[in-house]
Structure 1
Amino acid sequence: MMIVITGISGFVGRNLSNYLRQYNCSVEGLCLRNNWKLNVNSNAIIHLAGKAHDTANTTADEEYFKVNRDLTIQLFDEFLNSNIKDFIYFSSVKATADTIEGILDEEHKSNPKTPYGKSKLEAEKYLLSKKLPDGKKLFIIRPCMIHGPGNKGNLNLLYKVVQKGIPWPLAAFDNKRSFLSIDNLNFLIGKILSNKNIPSGIYNFADDDSISTNELVKIIAEASGKKTKLWKFSANFISSVAKLGDMIKLPLNSERLKKLTESYMVSNDKIKKALEISSLPISAKDGLTKTIKSFQS
Structure 2
Amino acid sequence: MILVTGATGFVGKAVVQRLLADDESKRVVVAVRRDGRQWPEQVLPRVTGDLEPATDWSLALKDVSAVVHLAARVHVMHDTAADPLTAFRSVNVEGTLNLARQVAAAGIKRFLFISSVKVNGESTPPGRAFAESDAPNPQDAYGQSKYEAEHGLRQLAADTGMEVVIIRPPLVYGPGIKANFAALMRAVQRGWPLPLGAVHNQRSLVALDNLVDFIVTCITHHQAANQTFLVSDGQDLSTTELVRGMARAAGVPARLLPIPVWVLQAGAGLLGKGDAVQRLCGNLQVDSSKARHLLDWTPPISVDEGLRRAVAGS
Same fold? TM cut 0.5 = yes
Contact 1:41 1:83 (C-alpha < 8 Å) held by counterparts: no
After TM superposition, the score normalised by the length of structure 2 is 0.85
**Deviations 1:209-268, CA, capped at 9 Å, x for gaps:** 11111011111111222212211224333224323443xxxxxx2332222221111111
Partner residue, 1:250: none
**Deviations 1:62-113, CA, capped at 9 Å, x for gaps:** 2111111111111111122111111000110101211122111101111111
- Given the alignment of the two structures, is residue 164 of structure 1 paired with residue 190 of structure 2, yes or no? yes
SS of residue matched to 2:283? coil
Partner residue, 2:37: none
In the alignment, the residues of structure 1 paired with residue 183 and residue 270 of structure 2 have an alpha-carbon distance, to the nearest angstrom, of 19
Contact 1:45 1:88 (C-alpha < 8 Å) held by counterparts: yes
Amino acid at match of 1:51: R
In the alignment, the residues of structure 2 paired with residue 76 and residue 37 of structure 1 have an alpha-carbon distance, to the nearest angstrom, of 10
Query: Offset of 1:132 from its aligned partner?
Result: 4.8
Partner residue, 2:72: 50
- Given the alignment of the two structures, is residue 82 of structure 1 paired with residue 106 of structure 2, yes or no? yes
Deviates more, 1:194-203 or 1:208-217: 194-203
Contact 1:166 1:229 (C-alpha < 8 Å) held by counterparts: yes
Aligned residue among 196, 212, 222 for 1:196: 222
Query: Offset of 1:57 from its aligned partner?
Result: 4.0
In the alignment, the residues of structure 2 paired with residue 263 and residue 150 of structure 1 have an alpha-carbon distance, to the nearest angstrom, of 25
Amino acid at match of 1:93: V
After TM superposition, the score normalised by the length of structure 1 is 0.90
In the alignment, the residues of structure 2 paired with residue 147 and residue 43 of structure 1 have an alpha-carbon distance, to the nearest angstrom, of 29
Percent sequence identity over aligned pairs: 29
Deviates more, 1:236-245 or 1:15-24: 236-245
**Deviations 1:159-181, CA, capped at 9 Å, x for gaps:** 12222222221333321111111
Aligned residue among 136, 150, 175 for 2:176: 150
Query: Offset of 1:284 from its aligned partner?
Result: 1.9
In the alignment, the residues of structure 2 paired with residue 73 and residue 254 of structure 1 have an alpha-carbon distance, to the nearest angstrom, of 35
**Deviations 1:87-143, CA, capped at 9 Å, x for gaps:** 000110101211122111101111111111111101111111232534x31101101
Aligned residue among 160, 185, 196 for 1:133: 160
Query: Offset of 1:146 from its aligned partner?
Result: 0.8
Partner residue, 1:285: 304
Aligned residue among 269, 282, 286 for 2:289: 269
Partner residue, 1:30: 31
Partner residue, 1:221: 247
Amino acid at match of 1:190: V
Query: Offset of 1:3 from its aligned partner?
Result: 1.0
Amino acid at match of 2:220: S
Q: Give the number of aligned pairs.
A: 286
SS of residue matched to 2:64? coil
SS of residue matched to 1:266? coil
In the alignment, the residues of structure 2 paired with residue 76 and residue 53 of structure 1 have an alpha-carbon distance, to the nearest angstrom, of 21
Amino acid at match of 1:22: A
Deviates more, 1:230-239 or 1:174-183: 230-239
In the alignment, the residues of structure 2 paired with residue 11 and residue 58 of structure 1 have an alpha-carbon distance, to the nearest angstrom, of 22
Amino acid at match of 1:27: V
Partner residue, 1:120: 146
